[in-house]
Structure 1
Amino acid sequence: MEKKRTRNYSTVVYPESAPENWQMILEEQCVPAFVSPIHNKDINSDGDLKKEHFHVMVMFDGVKTQEQAREVFDLIGGVGVEPIKSVRAYARYLCHLDNPDKMKYKIDDVLSLSGADYNTMISLASDKYSAIGEMIDFCIQNRIDSYAELLLYAKDNRVDWFHVLCDNGTVTMVQFLKSRYWEIHKRYTEDMN
């Protein structure tokens, strides 16, 4: 019987049974990987709190067997070896981005190793639109009409917004801020007359 092979695998790591430096050990394997934030607020179906754990996702450059992936996971105390069918879907699962009934975790807390780019991996067009909507609301609430002010705020405080602005959201936000500035100053000029 032929062994199934794929490039991407996942495991679960429980802090109390993993080596203290397990994340460094994983990084030393030089395999692109994501480590979820610690899942410490997940609830079982019976309403009890689940044991704290991390989800780990590795993305090999070439296909590997489950046994080959297990060799990496054994080094870090990983429990189980699961082939990943959709890299984007599993990457989004690390923070429960598409699971409304589960606790959401911060995307900025995902550890990206060996060249893996979490923000690129999880990007969906709908996320970009949501981020632009959030930025518009933020600018209105905080009376921001300067693109530079928005960009600096995003760089320091909202990496997801910063990525949208750097990748392709700039035109929309610049046009919104110009129009907003014009409307505010038009009203002010009209009120003065």
Structure 2
Amino acid sequence: PDSAPENWQEILREQLIECLISPLHDKDVLPTGEPKKAHWHVVLSFKNPTTFAKACEVFTEIKAVVPPEKESRVKDFRQMARYLCHMDQPDKHRYEMQDVVSIGSIDYASLCMSAADEDDMLDQIFETMDNYALDSYPKVVRWTREHNPEWKPIVYRKYTKQISEYAKGLHYESKQ
């Protein structure tokens, strides 16, 4: 953080390059137990193939540390996104997902959701539908907007049909 200009995130926005910015990693520790210097991770996402030199230009403009070329190419964007909060590193401090900054149209929450996360969220949705007699898709949508906006990717896009069918089943059961 010391080397970055105060407006470094604005500089990234002006570049019109999609990226993800981790929460400030200020609780990371070295293998010796000493605290690491506070830092951010920035992951750029180019729509077209680009060169290492082009990526370096962006990082240089915000005075970021540029990793060696071999380490700079992200092999799995989803895994890198999950790393921003140490989701799969139980030996490291876990940072909050809501503290990740997304510049551009990257849907961070959807990107990071694992199959187990989706199953857990569907269980929550179905349980809420049971408990509050949400027996139509519009009722579930209204509930999601008012109480659980983190459900939006599941309710609005990914499992719309399954949730609608469950709601129909609840409606049918209530008429028996």
Q: Which shows bigger deviation, 115-124 or 89-98?
A: 115-124
Does structure 1 residue 154 correspond to structure 2 residue 140? no
Whether 1:57 and 2:43 are equivalent positions in the alignment is: yes
Match of 2:59 among 42, 54, 73: 73
Provide the secondary structure at the position in 2 that maps to 1:145: coil
1:35-82 deviation digits (Å, cap 9, x = unpaired) = 112223333323343332211000122222322211100111211232
Give the equivalent residue in structure 2 for 1:83.
73
Distance 2:76 2:91 in 1: 21
Q: Which has the higher strand share?
A: 1
Of stretches 111-120 and 90-99 in structure 1, the one that deviates more from structure 2 is: 111-120
- Structure 1: gaps of 5 or more residues: 1-14, 187-193
Q: 1:55 and 1:113 mapped to 2: Cα distance?
A: 13
1:36 touches 1:94 (CA, 8 Å); kept in 2? yes
Identity %: 33
- 137, 145, 148: which one aligns with 2:133: 145
Gaps of 5+ in 2: none
> Which segment drifts farther, 112-121 or 76-85?
112-121
What is residue 33 of structure 1 aligned with on the other side?
19
- The separation in 1 between residues aligned to 2:65 and 2:147, in whole angstroms, is 35
Return the alpha-carbon distance in structure 2 between the equivalents of residues 99 and 156 of structure 1.
Answer: 33
Letter in 1 for 2:66: G
TM-superposed CA distance for 1:120, in Å, is 4.1
Q: Give the residue type in structure 2 aligned to 1:115.
A: S
Greater Cα shift, 17-26 or 125-134: 125-134
Change (3 A) 1:163 1:185: same
Correspondent of 1:110 among 82, 97, 100: 100
Instruction: State which of 115, 121, 135 in structure 1 corresponds to 2:111.
Output: 121
Question: Does the CA-based 8 Å contact 2:110-2:153 persist in structure 1?
Answer: no
| Partner Cα distance (2:127, 2:39) in 1 | 35
Of residues 24, 32, 56, the one that matches 2:10 is 24
Count, aligned residues = 170
Retained in 2: the 8 A contact 1:131–1:160?
Answer: no
Q: Quick one: which of 99, 115, 122 aligns to 1:132? A: 122
Please report how far the alpha carbon of residue 135 of structure 1 lies from its aligned counterpart in structure 2 after TM superposition: 3.0
1:20: how far off? 0.4
CA contact (8 A) 1:42 1:102 kept: yes
